[in-house]
Amino acid sequence: MKSLLLPVSLWAALFATTALAEPARAVPPSMPQVQLTFAPIVKRIAPAVVNVYARSIVQAPTNPIFSDPMFAQLFGNPQMRQRVQQSLGSGVIVRADGVILTNNHVVQNGSDIVVALADKREFKAKVLLSDPRTDVAVLKIDTHGESLATVPFADSDKIQVGDLVLAVGDPFGVGQTVTMGIVSALARTQVGATDYQFFIQTDAAINPGNSGGALVTTDGRLAGINTSILSRTGESIGIGFAIPANLARRVLEGALGGGIKLAWIGADGQPVTAAIAANLGIAVPNGVLLRSVYPGGPAANAGLKVGDVIFSVDGQPVNDMQSLNYRIATHKPGDVVKMHVHLGKQASDVSVALALPPENPPRQLMAIGGRNPLTGARVENLSPATAGELQLPLMAKGVVIVSVAAGTPSGGYGFQPGDIVRGVNGQAISGTDDLQRALNGTNHWDLVVDRGGQRLTLSVDG
């Protein structure tokens, strides 16, 4: 066996390098280091996290057996009675005069909203804005001049995977609870909780009742609004999601400034797959491949076209339309963003001036009446603005159903919000006036409807 002879000095250097790689271990030199705690942060933010109760009146059958659709079908419509339904969630005070952020789904359809502070005082709350697209709602309570504790906003774009976070809320109504975890992931876009899907994922325990509560950094700033969990049991398994603070702040600004107006890019796209990347000569399969660009929209005005790939917005990567829409939504209409884009065979930076989606043609909201299959539906002309609100394709045109009243012919025939009416009795429908004329003066209706990219037909005799 051959031995390796090295100078003594080199052996010493190698030994020193190995020794430095070992983590230093030492007894904490002082009692404060032994007693490291988040208690001071929790003490400061706890008064700013509240309970939110939303009461609503619902119709329920007098006999519970008629809750089963089979019995209702056999014995006809049961006698109904009014019942009070209450949902429980949490909220975060973000302004000392009593402005509170929570989830839209906590207060949705609530006729009586009550906020309970950490000291058990209760206040009736007014809903300043409730936005189902972002699942954020803004409430206001009358503090009678009292200044309340608040949680200041963090810049959620600076949060990193591995950061420690605290979740504060009222799970299961047991009382204010604080849990700790880390940021497990960023930019989760396939959760399905909001239209603008872009969530902070955490393993801090989040349970029913935590919705609308605070996800807080270890320096006591609001990283996000806890909104949903992934679970097969309904209880926390360590996969929770929070709406980033930067988007929640945009909704807050809209509520205090005359309504939320989310910016628009005027383009639609899909993730870049490995096959697409190879075809375009892109080294790594990331970015958003543009499939449609609205003429005269922000993207078109910046020179973008179908087939271009957007890699980032202001240095933040985007890999699907959800993340691109989120990055746009955190800006205001009129802001100019810098996008790193693959144009043809080369990459370059492009400045895009964001705008509001146009209402062209005008909405012309109409309630359908008379004797026809669409009676009870509310419809309006499709424009980029309405298409964006209903999460329909960018270039969709025609007349869209925006709501369907229960117990009306439109509800009975199964029409749904988002359905696009294409034709009636062979006549193409391009506007609400066309639709109303086509429905009147006949006892037979052949309807053609688009739903989620599928074409459906319905034939009704009157």
CA 123, CA 117: separation in Å to the nearest integer? Answer: 8
Q: Give yes or no for a contact between 104 and 135, defined as CB atoms under 8 angstroms apart.
A: yes
CA 287, CA 280: separation in Å to the nearest integer? Answer: 12
- First and final C-alpha spacing in the chain: 101
410 catalytic residue (yes or no): no
444 catalytic residue (yes or no): no
Annotated catalytic residue, options 105, 331, 340, 342: 105
Annotated catalytic residue, options 156, 184, 211, 228: 211
211 catalytic residue (yes or no): yes
Q: Sign of torsion, CA 389 393 398 403?
A: negative
Annotated catalytic residue, options 131, 135, 170, 320: 135
What residues act catalytically?
A: 105, 135, 211
